[in-house]
Amino acid sequence: MGGDELEGTANMILQIIKLNPGSHLRMIKKDMNISMGTTQYHLDRLEKSGRITSTRNGLYKHYFPLGIFHENEKEILQVLSQETAREILMTIIEKQTPTQTDILNSVEISGASANWHLKRMMAIKLIEEIRDGHFKRYRMFDIKTSTYVTTLMRNYYPTIWNKWSNRLIEVFLSLSNAEEKLENEEEDKT
């Protein structure tokens, strides 16, 4: 590979990361249709040159354009970049306070897997667990978090957003109305 070709590949990877912040190695490799070694080489070069940054979450290293996202945004984008976690989150948004059983039935994953994803989302204050008798229910951490997730999803995962928007439009409208009501109440207090 010549220097221009190397730089061209690096720039293409950088564009993928800009368009899909929170992408991980295998995702980038698949999108680029290049070898794992070539992908790793370019990611290392881009990170060492200060053009991208990364965060590690378990086995995955997620990549972001440098200087654009705060830590909490990176954490949310990491969740949104993984299909199973995204499905769980969308189930919580759609059903508003589902039990773990509701989530398992909707997403069709094991209890251990659901538990792992739910704990991860609670750790970054994306969702919260509430007790309802002997059931645990899950909901978005707060209305602002719901709006924030919606904005990140619409801006950085438009294909997925389009897929879900028809299904969830009523939920988001009700969340928007609730946020508006909250803002009006706060204005009335001042």
CATH of the domain at 54: 1.10.10.10
Mean pLDDT, rounded, for 6-13: 86
Predicted confidence (pLDDT) per residue in 31-63, tens digit: 999 999 999 999 999 999 999 999 887 778 889
Higher pLDDT, 165 or 100: 100
- Residue range of the domain that includes 158: 70-182
Q: pLDDT tens across 112-154, in order?
A: 999 999 998 999 889 999 998 889 999 988 877 777 787 887 7
Q: Name residue 118's amino acid.
A: L
Q: Is residue 188 part of a domain?
A: no
Lowest mean pLDDT among 52-56, 94-98, 104-108, 186-190: 186-190
Share of residues in the chain with pLDDT > 70 (%): 87
Got the DSSP string for the chain? --HHHHHHHHHHHHHHHHHSTTEEHHHHHHHHT--HHHHHHHHHHHHHTTSEEEEEETTEEEEEETTT--HHHHHHHHHHHSHHHHHHHHHHHHHSS-BHHHHHHHHT--HHHHHHHHHHHHHTTSEEEEEETTEEEEEES-HHHHHHHHHHHHHH-HHHHHHHHHHHHHHHHHHHHHHHHHHHHHHHH-
Please list, in sequence order, all residues whose beta carbon lies within 8 angstroms of the beta carbon of residue 107, skipping any fewer than 6 positions away: 84, 87, 88, 91, 114
Report the C-alpha gap between 65 and 32 in whole angstroms. 17
The reply to whether 106 and 39 lie within a common domain is no
Check residue 169 and give its pLDDT.
66
Closest by Cα among 32, 22, 15 to 63: 22
Q: Are residues 159 and 169 in the same domain?
A: yes
pLDDT reported for residue 170: 63
How many percent of the chain have pLDDT more than 90?
36
39 is a domain residue: yes
pLDDT of the residue at 110? 92
Q: Are residues 175 and 98 in the same domain?
A: yes
Which residue shows structure tokens 């989302």? 121
Higher pLDDT, 189 or 80: 80
Last residue of a domain, one of 12, 46, 68: 68
